[in-house]
């Protein structure tokens, strides 16, 4: 190896670019959590750890054990770590401890891209993809299954206590009541059984809250409608059909490993995970990244527009969003009829599965309340500019998903919980912007 680490890698290598980027970042959010009075062991320089993790995410390496190994075996990682070898526990704790600060790097990456002239928001594209959670679908349980598991835990605790009482009395444990070796200590046993019971009880409470919310919504709507009937002198209705969001769901499940994740239908089948959303510019620069657990994209357009404007404002980009293009999954009458103020000009493919009115006696469909909206949007998309917008969507946000999930191998969140998944998704989006910025700076 050359004696100087600066000669280990070519000058235009991604590692040197990451070092330069970290030199331009405000590392205050990372540094403020460390003591400056000289007490305790010295920590690794936050700049080193940030550069190490940014480069790791850029190259699709997220396992802290792999990062630890590459700090010894990989030249680029050795350069970024300055010859140090932080262990995987230190790396994992640093990432979890500063998750909010890492998520905030999306704004910093957008600011750097804007300084390079890469951010143009005259036309942005919105889309979502299903990302697997760090949880197994086999850990999903219904309310009935959770109740049974809680009863089994209570029965097991009673049996173990009975076996312990029999042994202390000199009678010895009865057949089938011998305490497992890992649960011999009564204190440990009670703590483990109590933790298991609390975890299941929390899952049960979440499912019960969902059921109560649906029941309360139906009761409130029925009460309001019956009050309106009473005002007209009509008797109350004893039966009323429930809406989709009011109907009971006896088969509803919650995941015991990651309760925030849901069973979703993705392009390649069922996925236990999250719905990850991105808004990108025509140059594939990510301007907003959010995560939800909704099965579809129907309600995500307005929140993503709000998130985009917030990210642009935080990055100091005053340019307003000119137009937004999305696929049919975002089609909703309220999005295109002007009832939601502040939305940009929209180019959304009308949903083919939408209701177009009840058939008339002659078999032809009747005019529905959304027919004029569908016709207006179809006419807008048929113009040369509308066709250009649809082409832009296919060449902007979808390639970002493909590069992230297939080339960088990031199709599963490594941390659990909605908050942690959102933080990681925004870090992934930030590194996607840094990769675009690096390619723009490399000589052609």
325 and 414 belong to one structural domain: yes
The answer to whether the beta carbons of residues 330 and 301 sit under 8 Å apart is yes
In this structure, what DSSP letter does residue 310 have?
A: H
| Banded pLDDT at 258 (limits 50, 70, 90) | confident
At 90-100, the pLDDT tens digits run 999 999 999 99
Q: What are phi and psi of 416, to 5 degrees?
A: -110, 145
Alpha-helical segments (H) within 268-322: 301-314
Query: Residue 354 above 60 pLDDT?
Result: no
Q: How far, CA to CA in Å, does 392 sit from each of 242, 290, 388, 396?
A: 41, 21, 6, 6
116 and 166 belong to one structural domain: no
For residue 142, the model assigns a pLDDT of 77
Residue 230, both tokens = 């009473």
Burial class (CB in 10 A: 0-12, 13-18, 19+), 156: middle
Mean pLDDT value of segment 372-376: 86
23 and 129 belong to one structural domain: no
The answer to whether the beta carbons of residues 91 and 68 sit under 8 Å apart is yes
Q: CA neighbours within 13 Å on the CB side: how many for 315? A: 26
130 and 279 belong to one structural domain: yes
The answer to whether the beta carbons of residues 431 and 54 sit under 8 Å apart is yes
271 and 203 belong to one structural domain: no
Rounded Cα distance between 136 and 258, Å, is 9
375 and 267 belong to one structural domain: yes
Mean pLDDT value of segment 351-373: 62
For residue 195, the model assigns a pLDDT of 66
The answer to whether the beta carbons of residues 286 and 279 sit under 8 Å apart is yes
Rounded Cα distance between 234 and 227, Å, is 9
288 and 216 belong to one structural domain: no
Task: Name 184's Cβ contacts closer than 8 Å, sequence gap at least 6.
Answer: none
Q: Which of 125, 118, 123 is nearest to 400 (CA)?
A: 125
Lowest mean pLDDT, pick from 127-131, 345-349, 372-376: 372-376
For residue 192, the model assigns a pLDDT of 61
| Banded pLDDT at 106 (limits 50, 70, 90) | very high
At 228-245, the pLDDT tens digits run 888 888 888 877 777 766
CA angle 404, 435, 82 (to 5 degrees): 110
| Banded pLDDT at 269 (limits 50, 70, 90) | confident
Query: Higher model confidence: residue 339 or residue 326?
Result: 326
Mean pLDDT value of segment 109-122: 92
Domain that holds residue 60: 5-97
Boundary of a domain, candidates 237, 255, 273: 255
For residue 1, the model assigns a pLDDT of 61
- By percentage, how much of the chain surpasses pLDDT 70? 80
pTM over 0.85: no
Rounded Cα distance between 284 and 436, Å, is 8
367 and 250 belong to one structural domain: no
Rounded Cα distance between 116 and 441, Å, is 9
Neighbours of 377 (CB within 10 A): 20
Boundary of a domain, candidates 233, 255, 277: 255
Rounded Cα distance between 173 and 195, Å, is 25
The distance from CA 194 to its chain's CA centroid, rounded to whole angstroms, is 30
Burial class (CB in 10 A: 0-12, 13-18, 19+), 267: exposed
153 and 30 belong to one structural domain: no
| Banded pLDDT at 251 (limits 50, 70, 90) | low
In this structure, what DSSP letter does residue 11 have?
A: T
| Banded pLDDT at 405 (limits 50, 70, 90) | very high
Neighbours of 389 (CB within 10 A): 23
The distance from CA 191 to its chain's CA centroid, rounded to whole angstroms, is 32
Mean pLDDT value of segment 54-72: 94
Averaged pLDDT of the chain:
83
Q: Which of 295, 301, 296 is nearest to 325 (CA)?
A: 301
The answer to whether the beta carbons of residues 70 and 86 sit under 8 Å apart is no
Boundary of a domain, candidates 70, 97, 124: 97
Q: What are phi and psi of 8, to 5 degrees?
A: -75, -30
Query: Residue 177 above 50 pLDDT?
Result: no
390 and 420 belong to one structural domain: yes
391 and 282 belong to one structural domain: yes
Query: Higher model confidence: residue 124 or residue 164?
Result: 124
For residue 19, the model assigns a pLDDT of 94
Burial class (CB in 10 A: 0-12, 13-18, 19+), 226: middle
At 290-300, the pLDDT tens digits run 999 888 898 89
Query: Higher model confidence: residue 8 or residue 40?
Result: 8
Query: Residue 140 above 90 pLDDT?
Result: no
209 and 163 belong to one structural domain: yes
Mean pLDDT value of segment 390-415: 91
State the total domains in the chain: 3
Q: How far, CA to CA in Å, does 248 sit from each of 143, 148, 197, 213?
A: 12, 20, 26, 10
Neighbours of 417 (CB within 10 A): 15
């Amino acid at each position: 190896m050359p004696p100087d680490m600066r000669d280990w890698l070519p000058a235009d290598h991604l590692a040197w670019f990451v070092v330069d980027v970290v030199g331009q970042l405000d590392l205050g959010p990372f540094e403020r959590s460390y003591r400056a009075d000289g007490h305790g062991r010295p920590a690794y320089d936050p700049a080193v750890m940030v550069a190490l993790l940014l480069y790791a995410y850029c190259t699709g390496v997220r396992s802290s054990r792999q990062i630890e190994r590459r700090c010894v075996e990989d030249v680029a990682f050795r350069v970024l770590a300055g010859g140090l070898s932080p262990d995987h526990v230190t790396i994992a704790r640093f990432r979890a401890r500063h998750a909010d600060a890492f998520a905030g790097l999306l704004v910093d990456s957008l600011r750097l891209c804007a300084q390079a002239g890469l951010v143009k928001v005259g036309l942005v594209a919105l889309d979502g993809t299903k990302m697997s959670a760090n949880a197994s679908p086999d850990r999903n349980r219904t309310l009935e299954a959770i109740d049974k598991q809680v009863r089994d835990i209570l029965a097991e605790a009673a049996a173990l206590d009975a076996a312990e009482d029999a042994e202390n009395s000199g009678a010895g444990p009865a057949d089938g009541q011998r305490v497992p070796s890992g649960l011999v200590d009564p204190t440990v046993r009670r703590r483990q059984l109590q933790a298991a019971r609390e975890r299941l009880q929390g899952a049960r409470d979440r499912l019960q809250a969902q059921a109560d919310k649906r029941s309360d919504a139906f009761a409130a709507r029925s009460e309001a409608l019956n009050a309106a009937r009473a005002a007209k002198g009509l008797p109350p209705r004893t039966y009323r059909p429930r809406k989709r969001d009011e109907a009971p769901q006896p088969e509803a499940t919650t995941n015991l490993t990651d309760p925030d994740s849901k069973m979703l239908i993705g392009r390649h089948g069922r996925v236990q995970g999250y719905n990850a959303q991105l808004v990108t510019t025509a140059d594939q620069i990510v301007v907003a990244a959010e995560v939800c657990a909704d099965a579809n994209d129907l309600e995500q357009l307005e929140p993503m527009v709000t998130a985009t404007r917030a990210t642009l404002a935080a990055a100091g980009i005053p340019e307003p969003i000119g137009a937004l293009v999305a696929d049919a999954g975002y089609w909703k009458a309220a999005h295109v009829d002007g009832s939601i103020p502040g939305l940009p000009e929209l180019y959304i493919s009308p949903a083919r599965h939408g209701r177009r009115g009840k058939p008339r006696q002659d078999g032809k469909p009747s005019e529905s309340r959304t027919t004029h909206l569908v016709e207006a949007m179809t006419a807008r998309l048929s113009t040369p500019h509308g066709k250009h917008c649809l082409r832009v969507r296919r060449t902007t946000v979808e390639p970002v998903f493909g590069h992230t999930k297939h080339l960088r191998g990031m199709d599963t969140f490594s941390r659990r919980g909605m908050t942690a998944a959102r933080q990681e998704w925004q870090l992934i989006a930030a590194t996607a912007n840094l990769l675009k910025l690096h390619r723009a700076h490399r000589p052609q």
